A and B are shown apart, each in its own frame.
Chain A
Amino acid sequence: MDVRFINAFIDGTIDVLKTMAFIEPRPGKPYLKKETAAQGDVSAIIGLTGDAKGSLALSFSAGSIIKIVSNMLGEDIQEVNADVRDAVGEITNMVSGVSRKCLESQGFNVVAAIPTVVAGKDHTIRHVMGGPSIIIPFETDYGSFVVDVCLG
């Protein structure tokens, strides 16, 4: 996968969480993932078309997403509830938007669909392209999450 796509998704993720949740996540080294099991407790996936065909997913541990959404809403949230699941979709939508804007400035035109949220123990992320995906791991002081990208 073109490193410019990886960088756009890393920068987009950091920008969204810094601005909306006042949390600056620390990216780790990307790696290849072959199984469909999600890495987190709640995930959202969004289809991409245009110059990048495939899908982008964000998968959060309960600890990280509860703190992120608490900060976004200015509320003390205790568990993965409807607001948290809803927010994961919106965060994924925003990360997709910022990343695609960054890619547009480099000559790539990428269009996104509306995100789908999946939650629960041992849930899976099924990318449209079906092949192996690249995982970009992130750490926060409240837990980890990953950006999971599969492009054809």
Chain B
Amino acid sequence: MDKNIKILVVDDFGTMRKVLRNLLKQSGYENIVEAEDGVSALKVLKGQKVDFVISDWNMPNMSGLELLKAVRADADLSKTPFLMVTAEALQENVVAAVKAGVSNYIVKPFTSEVLNEKIQKIMEKI
């Protein structure tokens, strides 16, 4: 699997972005960009080619779900793999994310093995 893919990590908590970056590096992914909410994530996505999005759900300005809907509604971005990494484990949240076209879903807390497995499963389907 191509480990040079560019991954956008979106989370309003800087430490969580750092945790995700560390876990991704452990799995061999080095090409990582960051955004602190959905609004800044959309700017990154429109300004450069991103191969994979990992986003939190609960964020100010634009939530992960709103970001997902915006990505799926944009012709240029609609096929971008989108992994939701969130503390929102309630059934209604999972259903809403699936309806909006999420590629997969990880509930915090999680291990590097779980993260890597989810990324690989998504990439294998492409």
13 contacts between A and B (CB under 8 A): A16-B108, A20-B109, A73-B15, A73-B18, A83-B15, A83-B18, A86-B13, A87-B15, A89-B13, A93-B58, A98-B108, A98-B109, A104-B89
Determine whether the beta carbon of A101 is less than 8 Å from that of B109.
no
A16 to B16, CA, bound (A): 13
5 closest A-B pairs by CB = A97-B87, A19-B109, A101-B89, A87-B15, A90-B13
User: Within 8 Å of chain A (Cβ to Cβ): is B111?
Assistant: yes
Determine whether the beta carbon of A100 is less than 8 Å from that of B15.
no
A94 to B18, CA, bound (A): 16
Q: Are A96 and B15 also in contact (CB < 8 A) when A16-B109, A73-B22, A101-B107 are?
A: no
- Name the distance in Å between A49's Cβ and chain B's nearest Cβ: 13
Count of B interface residues, CB-CB < 8 Å: 21
- What residues of chain A have their CB less than 8 Å away from a CB belonging to chain B? 15-16, 19-20, 69, 72-74, 82-83, 86-87, 89-90, 93-94, 96-98, 100-101, 104, 109, 112, 114
Determine whether the beta carbon of A72 is less than 8 Å from that of B15.
yes
A117 to B14, CA, bound (A): 14
- What residues of chain B have their CB less than 8 Å away from a CB belonging to chain A? 12-16, 18-19, 22, 58, 60, 86-91, 107-111
- Chain A: which residue is nearest B88 at the CB level? A97
A114 to B60, CA, bound (A): 8
- Name the distance in Å between B39's Cβ and chain A's nearest Cβ: 15
- Chain A: which residue is nearest B90 at the CB level? A104
Q: Are A98 and B14 also in contact (CB < 8 A) when A15-B109, A19-B111, A93-B58 are?
A: no
- In the complex, which of the residues A74, A97, A109 has the most CB atoms of chain B within 10 Å of its own CB atom? A97
- Chain A: which residue is nearest B57 at the CB level? A97
Q: Are A69 and B90 also in contact (CB < 8 A) when A15-B109, A101-B107 are?
A: no
- Name the distance in Å between A133's Cβ and chain B's nearest Cβ: 22
- Chain B: which residue is nearest A111 at the CB level? B90
Determine whether the beta carbon of A90 is less than 8 Å from that of B109.
no
Q: Which residues of A contact B14 (CB under 8 A)?
A: 82-83, 86
Determine whether the beta carbon of A86 is less than 8 Å from that of B15.
yes
Cβ contact of B87, chosen from A19, A83, A86, A98, cutoff 8 A: A98
A109 to B90, CA, bound (A): 8
Q: Are A73 and B19 also in contact (CB < 8 A) when A19-B111, A94-B108, A97-B87 are?
A: yes
- Name the distance in Å between A16's Cβ and chain B's nearest Cβ: 5
Determine whether the beta carbon of A97 is less than 8 Å from that of B89.
yes
